[in-house]
Chains A and B, each alone.
Chain A
Amino acid sequence: MPNLNEYKDVWVFTEIKDHEKVNNCALEILGKAREIADDLNQNLVAIILAYEADKYISTIKQYGVDKIIYINNIELKHYHEQIFPELIFNLISKYKPSIFLFPSTEASSALSARLAYRCRTGLVNNILNIELDKNKGDLILTDKPAYGGIYSVKIVCPNTRPQICTITAGTFQKQELKKDNIKIIEEKYDFDINKINIKIIGAPTRKDKPSASLSDAKFVIGGGNGLGSKENFEKLYKLADLTDAQVGGTRRPIFNGWMPEHLQIGISGESIKSNLYLAFGISGAIQHVVGIKDSERIIAINTDPNASIFKVSDYCVIGDANEILDGLLKHYKVE
């Protein structure tokens, strides 16, 4: 049994996105983590693994951290499935944080799962809320969706540390706060390159880069597999053009090659906060639904009266998404 009292401080993994900027969700998490650290009277620590890491430190300083621990190396330019877990596991072993929070991006989800195994501790992913269990020291209560998003379960991790969670974008608010005397600690990069067991052959190709911001759009039109074809999916862009909307979608259109990856809405994509969201041919898997829950109003169009999207929609239309899309297009073209 580890001595739980040895574990202190709230850590946030401030993931760097595309070797370019700090992940926005990580900044949101810092806001909530600050509250928890204050309640515990402990430090809030941001962890950066990056190339040219100092670039990001000034941003992170704006969000209430007491301490920043970073490792700087060219090998850390992008997430690596062996290097990152090992380096961070070493940091955990050295500093023993009590709580470690991650954004629920693909990379951080993978990283946190690997770390939880190495630390033999618990991980709660995609949580909806987090709070301290009063009078139980540093124990946190986390809520996460389960059973296809119909239920929410409350989970604790009482006997092991750190308590690890991943948090979906949009769950918390960013809060700017500049602390005095922020401690900056550089840890050294130490990884034996011979351990790498995945060999990259040939030149990688870059995937599409985001151009417009889905998360700020007031009107979003979403598409799912129910649209049936690339041609039908293209109609979404036409409608978006006519109505000044943004197009987004579920994971499936990406796999079908209908939509670039950065337009994904949901757990591993963007969360939207639009006034209106129009969902065409979307079944309503929880992975998508968590990304639209902050949309003020949702209209869903699906042929299946039992589609779970209807359970989370304001207006439910049973019908063929294509037919309705055609009708709407016709209206806006004629008007």
Chain B
Amino acid sequence: MLNIYVLIKQVPKSDNLQINWKTGALIRKNLENVINPDDIHGIELALTIKEKYGGKVTAITMGPLQAEAALREAIAMGADKGILITDPMFAYSDTLQTTLVLKEVFEKIGDYNVIITGIETSDSSTGQVPYQLSEALGIPLITDIFNYEFEKTLFRCQRNFGHESQFIEVNLPIIMRIGRHFNTTRHIPLSRIKRAFEIEIEHIDFNAINCPSEIDGCNKSPTQVIKTEKLIHKRKNEFINGTIKEKIQQILQIMKDHGVEKHWIGKK
């Protein structure tokens, strides 16, 4: 029976973002919030492990009250429980501050066996928390996993690491970081949605954890965003229309214009 925790983040859906150019901040009004795409794969892995080895899956997120929706979605997918870490003191946390809070939360939880994370969030793209949490909790972070198995307090797997593919064995607890290509995520059974909105979400605030003085998201995050700009790629963005044949002809013409010719002696 494994206690599996999956870290998720609620992010703005990235297809129509707008920035307030005066302040450089994201305009959150009318924005659709979703679970960070990588994290859905984390939830899927957590559920798969639970189905195979038994256990309990808890989704954890840190954010404002509205982030409860992400936890409910995780529960609709199959998670047993949701924990929202929320406090004005945690607002504006960067990765280091987030890690410091998560460290306290997991130390309070105590009996965790597996912590699952995605690779990175679609809004800030840092990908740092898994490594930093591994440092903070002093437990191994396993990335690029292929096959894995749990046996009592042991975890074995094949992983790609640097130049090679390794077979490794570690003691629990561990952090597993999972790519979005590792698994195919399940669709939400609609019958779980009702329940997902009836379950009570546990809240953890500043007073609930043994917060050291170094925690203060707004004032003690080492990194500060001072400006946001539209990233400009100077591209033509020309759509090529027509039938398939016409499209192919136009592509061939562009290739020719850029010096692509048939290479007579095919390479081996």
Direct A/B contact, Cβ within 8 angstroms: yes
Interface residues of A (CB under 8 A from B): 18-19, 78-79, 81, 85, 106-107, 109-110, 113-114, 116-118, 120-126, 141, 144-160, 197-202, 204-207, 218-219, 225, 241-245, 251-252, 255-256, 261, 275-276, 278, 286, 293, 296-299, 301, 306, 308, 310-319, 323-324, 327-328, 331-332, 335
State whether B26 touches A153 (Cβ < 8 A): no
A sample of 16 cross-chain residue pairs with beta-carbon separation below 8 angstroms, ordered by A number, consists of A78-B164, A107-B162, A113-B131, A120-B222, A121-B222, A122-B96, A122-B221, A146-B125, A147-B12, A150-B231, A155-B226, A199-B168, A243-B255, A312-B233, A316-B237, A316-B239
State whether A153 touches B227 (Cβ < 8 A): yes
Q: Which residues of chain A are near B124, meaning CB under 8 Å? A: 146
State whether A201 touches B169 (Cβ < 8 A): yes
Q: Which residues of chain A are near B95, meaning CB under 8 Å? A: 113, 116, 123
Closest 10 CB pairs of A and B: A122-B222, A113-B131, A122-B223, A327-B248, A255-B181, A244-B263, A154-B227, A148-B14, A117-B132, A276-B258
Given A113-B132, A200-B166, A255-B182, the answer on whether A328 and B248 have CB atoms closer than 8 Å is yes
Within 8 A of A (CB), among B160-176: 160, 162-171
Given A113-B131, A114-B131, A197-B171, the answer on whether A150 and B230 have CB atoms closer than 8 Å is yes
State whether A328 touches B251 (Cβ < 8 A): yes
Residue of A198, A319, A328 most packed against chain B (CB within 10 A): A198
| Bound-complex Cα distance A78 to B164 (A) | 10
Q: Which residues of chain B are near A323, meaning CB under 8 Å? A: 244
Q: Which residues of chain B are near A252, meaning CB under 8 Å? A: 181
State whether B122 touches A148 (Cβ < 8 A): yes
Q: Which residues of chain A are near B34, meaning CB under 8 Å? A: none
State whether B140 touches A147 (Cβ < 8 A): no
Q: Which residues of chain B are near A114, meaning CB under 8 Å? A: 131-132, 134-135
State whether A198 touches B170 (Cβ < 8 A): yes
State whether A314 touches B236 (Cβ < 8 A): yes
| Bound-complex Cα distance A310 to B19 (A) | 21
Within 8 A of A (CB), among B179-237: 179, 181-182, 214, 221-231, 233, 235-237
Min C-beta distance of B137 to chain A, whole Å: 11
State whether B244 touches A324 (Cβ < 8 A): yes
Min C-beta distance of A115 to chain B, whole Å: 9
| Bound-complex Cα distance A58 to B19 (A) | 48
State whether B135 touches A200 (Cβ < 8 A): no
State whether A122 touches B94 (Cβ < 8 A): yes
Min C-beta distance of B129 to chain A, whole Å: 8
State whether A153 touches B228 (Cβ < 8 A): yes
State whether A125 touches B181 (Cβ < 8 A): no
Q: Which residues of chain A are near B26, meaning CB under 8 Å? A: 147
Q: Which residues of chain A are near B231, meaning CB under 8 Å? A: 145, 149-152
Report B22-54 CB contacts with A as 1/0, cut-off 8 Å.
001010000000000000000000000000000
State whether B170 touches A199 (Cβ < 8 A): yes
| Set A78, A107, A124, A126: member contacting B223, Cβ < 8 A | A124
| Bound-complex Cα distance A151 to B233 (A) | 11
